């Protein structure tokens, strides 16, 4: 006879929730300090008033930790949470089933909302803005539309960028945040934590090698650590990691990771060529401008798609890692962007990083800043090679190639 399942007591549920917050809440996340602070302030604003937090959209490249951040916010400031893949919600009936099962104060985590099927976009937009859904009852001449109220919930969605999301959905998110790039120290820390979770130790030198092969994203580190854990070592040394690349056949090609130092070795012209190639892999038509008389614009890219299509202006800055792009550069770029009435957005891409003043200046402008870590992640995600015809690719120092 099958034993009857017992319902957990309120004390047991509270203990489980506390354990999950400890293991997956904000305290467990390495890096993203500014984003976590913004989310804490946002969540406290509502929880302090005894209200359910408004919706949050987290942007960043795949593997940057968007889902972990979404779950952490849900654990800290919401009740129970439900996860859903946007691309799997092709039937409004499935989405309605999820929405109507949410309780007051619960969270709905929607992964990659930019891939939401068109048929479900309007349905979800109404739910996010009005906390209600419309459905049709009866058939034929007796059919009528009925509005069904929902409990107030929090939607925490992820997307690569705001530009790729349907506009009616973007308008429903009061807080939209872009995840930042990770420093080398943060990537090493992430590697060490993941190894610890696998029950193995890893030396700092070995963790540095793994971090350098990660394309700047925690997900790639997780992939590498999972494979290295299969070696059965108690402690992973630098030599172990190097040997593992040959034993396991690990390489940047098989993992879809672009060698992290290649962009630093390119000339300015070749760097623009690689960026144009990346944009083409994302569906853009590109035109590299002449070296002079371009008004600070290196590439003109057009996207023939509804809602997010149009003319994009791109500026490329191949700087050394210790030279940051400042506010003056962003200000000049904005001047060139404003002079082109047909442009919908400007994108400034660098191999290094941006100063805090530069990011602050661009925050409320139609300008997206992509630093070196984000760029390497995009190159990896879209499988874009950094080899050009004008310059042979330099020998790779990447661990897994």
346 versus 115: the higher-pLDDT residue is 346
Return the CATH fold of 184-250: Helicase, Ruva Protein; domain 3 (1.10.8)
126 versus 227: the higher-pLDDT residue is 126
What crossing angle do the helices spanning 218-229 and 204-212 adopt, rounded to 10°?
130
Max avg pLDDT among 59-68, 91-100, 324-333: 324-333
d(CA 23, CA 4): 30
Least confident of 52-61, 64-73, 176-185: 176-185
Mean pLDDT of 12-27: 77
pLDDT, one tens digit per residue, over 40-68 is 999 999 999 999 999 999 988 778 889 99
Percent of the chain at pLDDT > 70 equals 84
Is the pLDDT at 96 greater than 80, yes or no? Answer: yes
Phi-psi region of 296 (alpha: psi -120 to 50; beta: other; left: phi over 0): left
Mean pLDDT of 291-306: 77
Domain boundaries along the sequence of the chain: 11-178, 184-250, 262-381
pLDDT the model gives residue 216 = 77
Is the pLDDT at 259 greater than 50, yes or no? Answer: no
pLDDT, one tens digit per residue, over 197-254 is 899 999 998 888 888 777 778 888 888 888 888 878 889 888 888 877 655 555 433 3
Least confident of 109-123, 131-145, 185-199: 131-145
CATH number for the segment(s) 262-381 = 3.40.1350.10
126 versus 220: the higher-pLDDT residue is 126
CATH number for the segment(s) 11-178 = 3.40.50.300
389 versus 19: the higher-pLDDT residue is 19
pLDDT the model gives residue 400 = 27
d(CA 2, CA 13): 24
């Amino acid at each position: 006879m099958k034993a009857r399942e017992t319902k957990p007591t309120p004390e047991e549920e509270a203990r489980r929730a506390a354990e999950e917050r400890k293991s997956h809440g904000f305290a467990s996340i390495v890096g993203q300090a500014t984003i976590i602070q913004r989310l804490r302030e946002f969540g406290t604003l509502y929880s302090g008033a005894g209200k359910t937090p408004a919706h949050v959209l987290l942007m960043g490249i795949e593997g940057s930790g968007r889902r972990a951040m979404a779950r952490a916010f849900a654990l800290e400031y919401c009740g129970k949470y439900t996860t859903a893949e946007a691309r799997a919600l092709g039937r409004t009936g499935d989405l309605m089933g999820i929405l109507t099962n949410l309780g007051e104060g619960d969270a709905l985590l929607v992964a990659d909302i930019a891939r939401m099927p068109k048929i479900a976009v309007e349905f979800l937009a109404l739910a996010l803005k009005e906390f209600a859904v419309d459905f049709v009852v009866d058939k034929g001449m007796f059919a009528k539309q009925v509005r069904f109220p929902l409990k107030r919930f929090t939607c925490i969605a992820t997307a690569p960028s705001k530009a790729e999301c349907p506009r009616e959905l973007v308008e429903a998110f009061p807080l939209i945040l872009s995840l930042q790039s990770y420093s080398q120290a943060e990537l090493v820390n992430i590697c060490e934590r993941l190894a610890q979770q696998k029950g193995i130790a890893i030396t700092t030198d070995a963790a540095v090698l793994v971090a350098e092969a990660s394309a700047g994203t925690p997900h790639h580190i997780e992939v590498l650590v999972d494979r290295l854990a299969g070696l059965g070592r108690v402690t992973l040394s630098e030599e172990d990691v190097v040997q593992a690349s040959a034993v396991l056949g690990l390489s940047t090609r098989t993992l879809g990771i672009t060698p992290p130092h290649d962009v630093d070795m390119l000339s300015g012209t070749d760097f623009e060529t690689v960026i144009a190639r990346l944009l083409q892999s994302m569906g853009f038509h590109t035109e590299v401008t002449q070296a002079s008389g371009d008004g600070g614009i290196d590439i003109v890219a057009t996207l023939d798609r509804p809602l997010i299509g149009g003319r994009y202006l791109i500026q490329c800055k191949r700087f050394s890692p210790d030279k940051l792009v400042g506010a003056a550069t962003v200000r000049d770029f904005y001047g060139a962007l404003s002079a082109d009435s047909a442009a919908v957005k400007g994108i400034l891409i660098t191999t290094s990083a941006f100063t805090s003043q530069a990011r602050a200046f661009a925050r409320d402008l139609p300008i997206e800043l992509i630093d070196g870590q984000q760029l390497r992640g995009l190159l990896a995600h879209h499988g874009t090679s950094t080899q050009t015809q004008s310059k042979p690719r330099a020998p790779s120092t990447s661990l897994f190639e």
